[in-house]
């Protein structure tokens, strides 16, 4: 089995070895994916570059560590899959990637330094970063220290600001896997493969909402016109994942994750990871970055960077030293001692009373907050009936906040009920997606009657977007069948 990455939804999946140069449907989003060609052997030479070893793979090809023979330096060599070299659209996209990457000059960006083609291959050489991407760091450490994550995000924000303000460029796929850190802790932004110039076109020609679903802005998911604030949202989702250890939204299907980005409330870090310990300032920063409406985010890259630097400065401040109390006088007269004892006794009594009052107020406050969280969760479910995956966040927060209160039992019961409903719905959607894949394969093989039969069996799915997709497919296949009669 080999591992591949879908060029449409960004999800990874496994497929049988020996299927290189084949086209199969992605098990996550259903879109057709061309599997990259077989690996180049170590020591092979392409256009003046000596292959050392393979270091990565994507939907369009593979990336190798290579030696540029003329300059005697290491580079990252991206080689387009052989089966794609006959597709004019793919070649055009590849050339565009070279042009976009080559015109950017910033110390924190991985850029193209050479490109060309041979009889069999199209290739692009990029600056090589001797390090790893943050996704690998997250897989190993599970979480990145708050101060380090924030500083890295600030550096990437400066790169994105430069790309937008100087070249009107959007990245459109900001995520931990596209942020690299070298052995000196320098940070770099990589992969401009799906970047686009805002001057060229505002939507992709094939209608796909490119990017990873875990970090995709609501407007990108809905295929609306984009500006720099879309990258800001993706950067916010990236910061969330780095500091919390999990992306802000997760579910069993890509469509559900995208729906959560569009409508689900901001998930408090504690609800996603109870051990997460973030400063209120960082959480507030992320909330604004992840605002559903673009106009509710920061007004400019500079405004965000200034705000992030202010939060970073607070995190760097050393804790204040405690001042040691003065030692009492060595000797006191008996009358003075008695007066002090009486005064302290009175103060202690007042303190105890104040403590009891404060404790009762604290308990009432916790109970009220727990009840409010539970009501908020129920309101979410009333507003978005059937969105059990999205409701898990609010109910999880209610469960966390109701701990040691009289509302804990009902919060626990409701969370278990919603989780069960979410799992049941996810199972139905997985079955739907599986049958949809089967129907698409049948249609691709021109077995239209069998494809139509499969689609008829799942057309009543309890999901509006899927029902719409099924309806359109059925209409198209029926039209083809009628034309063949």
Q: Is residue 24 part of a domain?
A: no
CA distance 251 to 261: 11
Sheet holding 112-117, edge to edge: 45-46, 49-57, 61-68, 73-80, 122-127, 112-117
**Three-state DSSP state, 301:** helix
Q: Six-digit token pair at 217?
A: 């802005």
Mean pLDDT, residues 167-183 taken together: 89
Q: What is the CATH number of the domain that holds 76?
A: 3.30.200.20
* Domain tally, the chain: 3
pLDDT value for 358: 59
Q: Is the pLDDT of residue 386 over 90?
A: no
Secondary structure element (H or E) that encloses residue 309, with its range: helix 301-316
**Which residue blocks in 142-295 are alpha helix, DSSP H?**
146-167, 218-221, 228-244, 254-263, 269-272, 280-289
pLDDT value for 316: 84
Of the listed ranges 29-43, 62-76, 345-359, 434-448, the least confidently predicted one is 345-359
Strand partners, 76: 65, 126
Cβ neighbours, 10 Å, residue 87: 14
Q: Is residue 461 part of a domain?
A: yes
Query: Can you say whether the dihedral through the CA atoms of 188, 189, 193, 195 is positive or negative?
Result: negative
User: When comparing pLDDT for 234 and 459, which is higher?
Assistant: 234
User: When comparing pLDDT for 221 and 406, which is higher?
Assistant: 221
Task: Identify the domain boundary among 297, 316, 335.
Answer: 316
- Claim to verify: residue 99 and residue 120 sit in the same structural domain: yes
Quote the domain boundaries for residue 481: 353-485
Strand partners, 179: 189
CA distance 244 to 454: 42
- Claim to verify: residue 253 and residue 398 sit in the same structural domain: no
Q: Is the pLDDT of residue 37 over 60?
A: no
Question: What pLDDT, in 10s, does the model give residues 224-254?
Answer: 888 999 999 999 999 999 999 999 998 878 8
Q: Is residue 13 part of a domain?
A: no
Give the pLDDT band of residue 199 (cuts 50, 70, 90): very low
- Claim to verify: residue 138 and residue 286 sit in the same structural domain: yes
> Does residue 433 carry a catalytic annotation?
no
- Claim to verify: residue 402 and residue 415 sit in the same structural domain: yes
Q: Six-digit token pair at 69?
A: 């023979």
- For the ranges 52-66, 153-167, 304-318, 452-466, the maximum mean pLDDT occurs at 153-167
Question: How many whole angstroms from its chain centre is CA 426?
Answer: 20
CA distance 151 to 128: 22
Task: State residue 31 phi and psi, 5-degree precision.
Answer: -75, 150
Mean pLDDT, residues 157-183 taken together: 90
Cβ neighbours, 10 Å, residue 430: 13
Task: Identify the domain boundary among 99, 127, 155.
Answer: 127
Give the pLDDT band of residue 330 (cuts 50, 70, 90): very low
Q: Is residue 338 part of a domain?
A: no
Alpha carbons within 13 angstroms on the beta-carbon side of residue 221 total 23
User: When comparing pLDDT for 142 and 348, which is higher?
Assistant: 142
Task: State residue 233 phi and psi, 5-degree precision.
Answer: -60, -50
Q: What is the CATH number of the domain that holds 138?
A: 1.10.510.10
- Claim to verify: residue 123 and residue 144 sit in the same structural domain: no
Give the active site residue among 114, 133, 173, 389. Answer: 173
Q: Closest Cα partner for 473 from 436, 447, 433?
A: 436
Give the pLDDT band of residue 204 (cuts 50, 70, 90): very low
Q: Is residue 385 part of a domain?
A: yes
Q: Six-digit token pair at 96?
A: 């565009």
Give the pLDDT band of residue 202 (cuts 50, 70, 90): very low
Cβ neighbours, 10 Å, residue 72: 7
Exposure pattern of 438-468 as b/e (b: 16+ CB <10 Å)? bbbbbbeeeebeebbebbeebeebebeebee
Give the pLDDT band of residue 29 (cuts 50, 70, 90): low
CA distance 182 to 104: 20
Q: Is the pLDDT of residue 317 over 80?
A: no
**Three-state DSSP state, 75:** strand
Contact between 108 and 57 under an 8 Å Cβ cutoff? The reply is no
Contact between 221 and 234 under an 8 Å Cβ cutoff? The reply is no
H/E/C letters for each residue in 322-356?
A: CCCCCCCCCCCCHHHHHHHHHHHHHHHHHHHHHHH
Q: Is residue 347 part of a domain?
A: no
Question: What pLDDT, in 10s, does the model give residues 274-287?
Answer: 888 999 999 999 99
Q: Is the pLDDT of residue 345 over 70?
A: no
């Amino acid at each position: 089995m080999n591992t591949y990455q879908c060029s449409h939804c960004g999800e990874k999946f496994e497929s049988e070895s020996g299927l290189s140069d084949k086209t199969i449907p992605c098990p996550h989003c259903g879109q057709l994916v061309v599997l990259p060609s077989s690996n180049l052997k170590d020591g092979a030479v392409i256009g003046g570059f000596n292959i050392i070893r393979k270091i990565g793979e994507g939907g369009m090809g593979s990336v190798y560590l290579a030696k540029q023979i003329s300059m005697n330096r290491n580079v990252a060599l991206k080689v387009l899959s052989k089966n794609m070299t006959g597709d004019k659209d793919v070649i055009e996209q590849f050339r565009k990637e070279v042009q976009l990457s080559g015109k950017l000059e910033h110390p924190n960006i991985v850029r193209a330094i050479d490109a060309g083609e041979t009889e069999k291959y199209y290739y692009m050489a990029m600056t090589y970063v001797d390090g790893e991407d943050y996704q690998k760091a997250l897989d190993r450490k599970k979480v990145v220290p708050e101060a380090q994550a924030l500083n890295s995000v600030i550096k990437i924000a400066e790169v994105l600001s430069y790309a937008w303000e100087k070249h009107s460029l959007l990245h459109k796929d900001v995520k931990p896997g596209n942020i690299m850190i070298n052995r000196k802790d320098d940070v770099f932004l990589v992969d401009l493969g799906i970047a686009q110039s805002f001057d060229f076109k505002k939507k992709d020609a094939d209608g796909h909402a490119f990017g990873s679903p875990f970090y995709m802005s609501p407007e990108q998911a809905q295929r609306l016109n984009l500006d720099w604030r879309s990258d800001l949202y993706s950067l916010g989702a990236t910061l969330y994942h780095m500091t919390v250890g999990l992306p802000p939204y997760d579910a069993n299907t890509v469509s559900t994750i995208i729906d959560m980005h569009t409508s689900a409330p901001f998930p408090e870090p504690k609800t996603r990871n109870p051990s997460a310990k973030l400063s209120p300032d960082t959480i507030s920063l992320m909330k604004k970055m992840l605002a559903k409406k673009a106009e509710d985010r920061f007004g400019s890259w500079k405004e965000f960077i200034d705000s992030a630097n202010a939060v970073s400065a607070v995190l760097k401040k050393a804790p204040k030293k405690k001042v040691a109390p003065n030692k009492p006088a060595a000797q006191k007269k008996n009358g003075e001692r008695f007066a002090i004892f009486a005064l302290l006794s009175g103060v202690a009594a007042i303190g105890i009373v104040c403590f009891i009052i404060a404790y009762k107020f604290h308990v009432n406050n916790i109970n009220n907050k727990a009840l409010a969280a539970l009501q908020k969760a129920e309101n979410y479910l009333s507003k978005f009936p059937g969105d059990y995956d999205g409701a898990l966040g609010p109910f999880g927060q209610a469960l966390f906040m109701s701990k040691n209160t009289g509302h804990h039992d009902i919060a626990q019961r409701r969370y278990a009920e919603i989780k069960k409903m979410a799992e049941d719905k996810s199972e139905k959607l997985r079955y739907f997606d599986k049958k949809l894949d089967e129907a698409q394969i049948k249609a691709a093989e021109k077995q239209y009657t069998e494809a139509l039969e499969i689609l008829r069996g799942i057309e009543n799915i309890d999901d509006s977007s899927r029902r719409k997709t099924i309806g359109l497919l059925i209409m198209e296949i029926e039209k083809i069948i009628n034309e063949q009669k």
